[in-house]
A and B are shown apart, each in its own frame.
Chain A
Amino acid sequence: QTVVTQEPSLTVSPGGTVTLTCASSTGAVTSGYYPNWFQQKPGQAPRALIYGTTNRHSWTPARFSGSLLGGKAALTLSGAQPEDEAEYYCLLYYGGARVFGGGTKLTVL
């Protein structure tokens, strides 16, 4: 059973920078896993932020960026805002099947 692992929780100061990561139990994450990132706030549906490793959707603020880092997919938030406090999920593609990470609760404090 494939497991995708994210940090359970992270804290960033307002205006600060934080990187969330997404690891696969099958080995290094590459662009072929098409990493997607989603933001979910309490009581709301998830909102797509990043697709295909590095691409922002038209509505994604420029302070969010996606990359590959040390064999993992990564989401970097530069210049954190209070409204960025949320749960963040990555999604990896395994040639048909897809697996979400367990989510990272990001606190802006």
Chain B
Amino acid sequence: EVQLLESGGGLVQPGGSLRLSCAASGFTFSSYAMSWVRQAPGKGLEWVSTLRGSGSGTYYVDSVKGLFTISRDNSMNTLYLQMNSLRAEDTALYYCAKHRGSTSPDLDFWGQGTLVTVSS
């Protein structure tokens, strides 16, 4: 059974940093691309970043380029999102999602999310 468990969210001041983690199980983690998707309170879904299974090939939404870094530790079956210089508009529930293959554009499984609140 595929499971994705996000953690690391919390309250952070504007300009601060946070690192999110997504612990994966139930599949061969290194063989699949992974993404982060966020949802601001009461709003729609926004794609944030994608990392291919091999660890090469990273993609970001323009609003987080140079601020967020996606990475993975295939030995630990864990996906990360390092978020720096956080702004109020980064407040959201952050989901990790699994792709159907190492380079597949298609998503299949989602975690339950971790909440990030940026506020003073």
Contacts and interface: CB of A to CB of B under 8 A. Distances in A.
Interface residues of B, number: 21
Contacts of A40: 45
A45 B105 contact: no
B106 A51 contact: yes
Nearest to A52: B106
A25 to B, nearest CB: 15
Contacts of A89: 44-45
Interface in B86-120: 95, 100, 105-113
A48 B47 contact: no
Contact of A102 (B35, B44, B61, B109): B44
The secondary-structure label for the interface of chain A is strand
A48 B95 CA distance: 13
Contacts of A74: none
B95 A100 contact: no
- By size class, the interface of chain A is 20 to 34
Given A46-B95, A46-B110, A48-B110, A100 B46 contact: yes
Contacts of B50: 96, 98
A45 B95 contact: yes
Contact of B45 (A38, A52, A57, A96): A38
A101 B37 CA distance: 13
A103 B61 CA distance: 18
Contacts of A57: 108
B27 interface: no
A98 B50 CA distance: 9
B112 A34 contact: no
Nearest to A44: B112
A10 to B, nearest CB: 15
Contacts of B37: 46, 100
Contacts of B61: 97
